[in-house]
Chains A and B, each alone.
Chain A
Amino acid sequence: MRHKTFLWFFLPTGAAMILFIFMPIISVLMQSVYAPHEAVLEEVENCVPLVGCTIETKINQDATAALREAEPLGRFVGLEIYKDRGHLATEEVKAAWAESETWGEFREKLTNLPFYRAMGFTLTFIIFVTPLGIILGLAIALAVNSLHRHLKGLMIFFSLLPMIVTPLIGSLVLFWMIDSRGIIGSALVGLVGDPNFSLKASTGLMWVALIVYGIWHAAPFGFVVFYAGLQTLPKDQLESAQIDGATRWQQIRYVVIPHLMPLVTFVGLIQLMDNFKIFEPIVGFQASAHATSLSWIIYNDMSGETRQLSAASATSVLTILGVAILLSPVLVRTWHDFKGAK
């Protein structure tokens, strides 16, 4: 295809991506190094006859508006926003490091800082949800594969639901069940025997609930991919393994799992990136008092009356950096594929 033809075919989609993905990234980067203007203050001498004169500091509304009009981005502050308490909190971390005697104390102090608190939950979430989702997905795939033909279709249908349904809706559906008045919640209350027992009140339990949601939501993707992989299983290898007297478990361990291994890596990488972005369940579970994520911080900064765009932008840039780190193995692999194909 000639360059010119290519350009015409690619122009609409290219323009859409440049205008609404590339430019916003630049805009986010710019905003993260500018802070809103502070109000312009002026000193006014206020004289009352007989009492005397006092000097008052007032906000000059006109000058403030004019300044904001002239430089809508705000004042340039460099990396200040990244270093402040709401983001990387370099000063606070240094202080905490110097003051803490033990690791536990240092960790304790870190979790008081919003960014590290969010990272703490996100990492825990990733560590549990990614492998458990893969294992559950694999188990479902193996089990469904052994079913009768007619049941397979039905099981695939229901297995897809937790993944396809809107994350906010899925998390609400689960949240209403684990609410202390919902069916699972009240069963737990009965089990514990404490009428005041509530998932919502405990950080640990809320984390467990979010992780359970995460696995519920993630397992179907692994299931579908592994199930498709099982359809292309090398029959002859399985048969020769059987002739050699391999047990069922050995067949799975030495034939099926190696065959699915590339898919496991694929699913793992996709899930890793997905779990890093966790956001809707925190809103749905109303869990922000116990668990936050970078995406939730961005959302929280932007919603509400005062939209803190500079703060949200800085967190956005940090999130993009995080995604880039997670994505790098995929990029390296694509590069190798590309070179191999040439």
Chain B
Amino acid sequence: MASKAQRMPRGLRIATSIFIIVWFFLAAFPFFWTLWGSFKVELDFFSIADWTNSLTGERTVAEHGSPFTGRGYEGAWIQEEFWRNVINTFIVCFFVVTISLTIGTLGGYALSRSTYNYTFWLLITALIFRAMPPITLVSGYLLPFFEWNVWGILPTTIIVLVAINQPFTLWMLHSFFKNIPKELDESAKVDGCNQFQAFRRVIIPIMWPGVITTGLFSFLLAYNDFAVTAMLLSESNRTMVPAIAAFLGTTQTEGNVMFAVAAVVSATVPLFILVMFFQRQIVSGLTAGAVKG
């Protein structure tokens, strides 16, 4: 690949390798460390006496007879009923992704096909909305939601997250639809389709790559949200992230930090799998706005 002149001198090659290894370590080690430690007892994971205890699990052996224990997971999933939060998270994510993609593709398609000036102003408004931290909107939600008695339930949170998601979805899908030539829907219209039929029969079959990428980011937004879910969900309807935050408050007094550690590992696993399978889409989504702009 690299021409001879491009090949690095030995010293630089070594320096680069060291740098890459250090970064790899920084990026990956914390997760593996926490995963390993989540199967230990608290005195091993947080060992005052000797840090090698967290590797060998000396206390864990003393307490449970083997260097690995599922006690943290048992405590989190069964005792603290973390499975409810997991189910809630997946309900929220599923509906947020489907609804925001459905209404987002319609809007994004319209924005990419209309030639009037107002599309620009709509996109600018969306950009401003996108830049606002979601938490600044929350105090605006609370009073009306209390008034209408819809605070604390999942559907409210889903709709709010869909709306917060829309500006981003619109931008992403708009730039994606821009790359699909207009001639395609023009010719469908010549053949007697109206705008919606052209969208349905011509655009939908070829839009999947862009929709999948956008869907991934919608999923991440809903999955990673803390500000909205923490403020808008009642205790019994919590999703994973606010539940973990609540764990910190309750478990530390009871000496059950390991429940929180196990919950954190459980919540990271789906993200690992997601990045593993959709790495290419995530990279292309992140760079879509940048390289072209």
Q: Quote the shortest CB–CB distance from A268 to chain B (angstroms).
A: 11
Q: Which residues of chain A have C-beta atoms less than 8 A from B261's C-beta? A: 176
Question: Contact: B115 with A1, CB < 8 Å?
Answer: yes
Binds A, one of B67-75, B204-212, B226-234: B226-234
Contact status B231-A302, CB under 8 Å: yes
For B24, give its contact among A155, A273, A326 (CB under 8 Å). A155
Can you name 19 extra interface pairs (CB under 8 A) apart from A158-B24, A303-B230, A316-B140? A9-B109, A10-B110, A13-B103, A20-B141, A20-B160, A25-B137, A27-B144, A28-B140, A155-B24, A160-B283, A161-B31, A161-B275, A164-B282, A248-B8, A279-B135, A279-B226, A298-B139, A299-B227, A319-B133
Alpha-carbon gap, A10 to B105, bound state (A): 9
22 contacts between A and B (CB under 8 A): A3-B116, A9-B107, A9-B195, A12-B103, A20-B163, A143-B20, A155-B20, A157-B276, A160-B275, A161-B271, A164-B271, A165-B31, A168-B241, A182-B46, A186-B47, A242-B5, A242-B6, A263-B290, A295-B227, A303-B231, A324-B131, A330-B131
Number of interchain pairs (Cβ within 8 Å):
277
Within 8 Å of chain A (Cβ to Cβ): is B262? no
Per-position 1/0 for A216-230, Cβ under 8 A of B: 100011001101110
- CB < 8 Å: which of A27, A186, A280 contacts B143? A27
Q: Is A65 an interface residue (CB 8 A)?
A: no
A181 in contact (CB, < 8 A):
yes
- Asked if residues A228 and B140 are in contact (CB atoms below 8 Å), the reply is no
Which bracket fits the contact residues of B?
35 or more
Interface of chain B residues 104 through 122 with chain A (CB within 8 A) = 104, 106-107, 109-111, 113-116, 120, 122
Nearest CB on B from A241, distance (A): 10
Report if A327 contacts B (CB, 8 A): yes
**B interface vs A, CB < 8 Å?**
3, 5-6, 8-9, 12, 16, 19-20, 23-24, 26-28, 30-31, 33-34, 37, 45-48, 51, 54, 102-104, 106-107, 109-111, 113-116, 120, 122-129, 131-133, 135-144, 147, 159-160, 162-164, 166-167, 169-170, 195-196, 199, 220, 223-224, 226-227, 230-231, 241, 244-245, 248, 257, 260-261, 264, 267-268, 271-272, 274-276, 279, 282-283, 286-287, 289-291, 293
* CB pair B163 A21 closer than 8 Å: yes
**B114 close to A6 (CB less than 8 A):** yes
Contact with B along A112-155 (1 / 0, CB 8 A): 00000000000000000000000000011001101100000101
Q: Which residues of A contact B231 (CB under 8 A)?
A: 299, 302-303
Q: Give the 3 A-B residue pairs with the shortest CB-CB distance, closest first.
A: A24-B140, A20-B163, A9-B110
Identify whether the interface residues of A are mostly helix, strand, loop, or mixed: helix
- Is A57 in contact with chain B by the CB < 8 A criterion? no
Given that A183-B33, A298-B138, A309-B142 are known contacts, is A166 also in contact with B20, CB under 8 Å in the complex? no
A17 to B170, CA, bound (A): 11
| Residues of A in contact, count (CB < 8 Å) | 101
Q: Verify if A214 is at the interface (C-beta below 8 Å from B).
A: no
Question: With A166-B223, A330-B127 in contact, is A9–B106 under 8 Å at CB?
Answer: yes
Which residue from chain A places its CB closest to the CB of B284 in the assembled complex?
A228
Q: Which of B28, B37, B127 contacts A334 (CB 8 A)?
A: B127
A157 to B293, CA, bound (A): 25
